[in-house]
Amino acid sequence: MTDSTTSIPAESSPAAPTEALLIQEQGSFAFGGTVVERPDGATVHTDHGYVQYQIPVNAKKLPIVMWHGYGQSARTWETTPDGREGFQTLFLRRGYPVYLIDQPRRGRASTSSEGIYVPGANDEEFFFTDQAFWDAFRIGEWDRGEQPRFHAGVQFPQDPESISQYLRSGAASVGPDGFDDATREVFSDAVAALFDRIGPAILLIHSTCGAFGWRAASKSENVKAVVGYEIGPYSYPISEPPAAVPFDIPELEPWVAADLIPDESFDRLARIPIQIVWGDFLQEHAYEWAPYVARSKQFVAALRERGGDAENLFLPEIGIHGNTHFPFSDLNSLEIADQLSAWLARKGLDG
């Protein structure tokens, strides 16, 4: 892991959490989507996304649009598991208009053109058990029937209420949310339509959102930068597919697979600054995480080859240790926010 940036100094004195927020405007609306005509002649408005926004007084020019990952909703960005302000409120305090997405078929955007069976916690095929969550997201280890264990130095609260809040942060989809081309198009078209409506803005994505976010960014000239936290799937130019990446867990195949998009779409990504941020304990969980890191390096290299401004930031390499898969809501989230502020300033996006 050698392609990280050097350390960035923290932003000086953001508003303290006890100061009042001055909000000029707030609300929510649906974006994108389609209208289905049913065989019986009825119509249904569906497959749109949902966004909730707040614009602070004396706002900076470029809003930040925050897009959650797999099995999550806009809640990702709102409040930390231990009840502190999430990136939503932190970046409002720093002057950015903030837009929080529930992607199509998720959260408050929950109508779908296609039906789906949603497994319950008692079903055999239920995926996100507490133990699976704990391990996959690198908080520590948690064997069934045992108490949860924490990685030494992990930036995660250990009180029962915070743990419960964390384990209640998920949200299932009410329709297909896989990585087939049709679903990628539905989700990325919707978010591109959001950017068409709100104008130039910065996009934050998390985790599996890479399956949709890179395509969305390639579809709207209004996406002025992308910062990805621990991204799963990556897009590459169809004329230059990346080399194969080895992985041991067959179920990871859809996450590791390269999404090939038209060269001109990929070239669009090479025209905006992109940063991908990684937490700690990647070595300890290499069997699951090494393939994504490898893919991310290929992605950055492919962008740079085409003149792009892209980088991986491995937090431990700049002295920030203990982060999980959710760096923006870990105990040191202010430090992570400072990294984002500094990067945006360095790229001239904080005007």
Cβ 106 to a second copy, closest distance in Å?
A: 8
Cβ 185 to a second copy, closest distance in Å?
A: 16
CA separation (Å) from 263 to 140, 197, 238, 274, 280? 40, 25, 6, 17, 33
Distance between the two ends of the chain, CA-based, in angstroms? 32
User: Does 158 help bind a second copy (rule: CB under 8 A)?
Assistant: no
Q: Which of 121, 152, 243, 244 binds a second copy (CB under 8 A)?
A: 121
Binding-site residue total for a second copy (CB under 8 A)? Answer: 72
For 47, the 3-state DSSP assignment is coil
> What distance in Å separates the CA atoms of residue 52 and residue 44, rounded to the nearest whole number?
22
Q: Which of 5, 165, 298, 332 binds a second copy (CB under 8 A)?
A: 165
User: Does 235 help bind a second copy (rule: CB under 8 A)?
Assistant: no
Binding mask 169-208 toward a second copy (x if CB under 8 A, else -) reads xxxxxxx---------------------------------
Cβ 126 to a second copy, closest distance in Å?
A: 7
> What distance in Å separates the CA atoms of residue 19 and residue 146, rounded to the nearest whole number?
42
185 residue type, one letter: E
Q: Which of 219, 229, 336 is nearest to 292 (CA)?
A: 229
> What distance in Å separates the CA atoms of residue 192 and residue 293, rounded to the nearest whole number?
26
Stretch that binds a second copy, among 26-34, 203-211, 259-267, 272-280 (CB under 8 A): 26-34
With respect to a second copy, which residue has the nearer C-beta, 78 or 309?
Answer: 78
With respect to a second copy, which residue has the nearer C-beta, 176 or 242?
Answer: 176
For 41, the 3-state DSSP assignment is coil
Q: Which of 27, 160, 246, 250 binds a second copy (CB under 8 A)?
A: 27
* Cα Rg of the chain, angstroms: 19
Cβ 257 to a second copy, closest distance in Å?
A: 25
Q: Report the site for a second copy in 124-153 (rule: CB under 8 A).
A: 126, 128-132, 144-145
User: Does 16 help bind a second copy (rule: CB under 8 A)?
Assistant: no
With respect to a second copy, which residue has the nearer C-beta, 17 or 241?
Answer: 17
> What distance in Å separates the CA atoms of residue 337 and residue 320, rounded to the nearest whole number?
12
Q: Report the site for a second copy in 43-72 (rule: CB under 8 A).
A: 43-46, 48, 50, 52, 57
Q: Which of 164, 185, 262, 284 binds a second copy (CB under 8 A)?
A: 164
Tokens for 54, please give them: 């707040």
> What distance in Å separates the CA atoms of residue 37 and residue 16, rounded to the nearest whole number?
51
Q: Which of 1, 7, 24, 345 binds a second copy (CB under 8 A)?
A: 24
Q: What are the contacts of 164-167 at 24+ separation with CB within 8 A?
A: 165/81, 165/82, 165/83, 166/81, 166/133, 167/130, 167/133
Q: Which of 9, 13, 16, 20 binds a second copy (CB under 8 A)?
A: 20
> What distance in Å separates the CA atoms of residue 191 and residue 247, rounded to the nearest whole number?
31
Cβ 191 to a second copy, closest distance in Å?
A: 15
With respect to a second copy, which residue has the nearer C-beta, 57 or 286?
Answer: 57
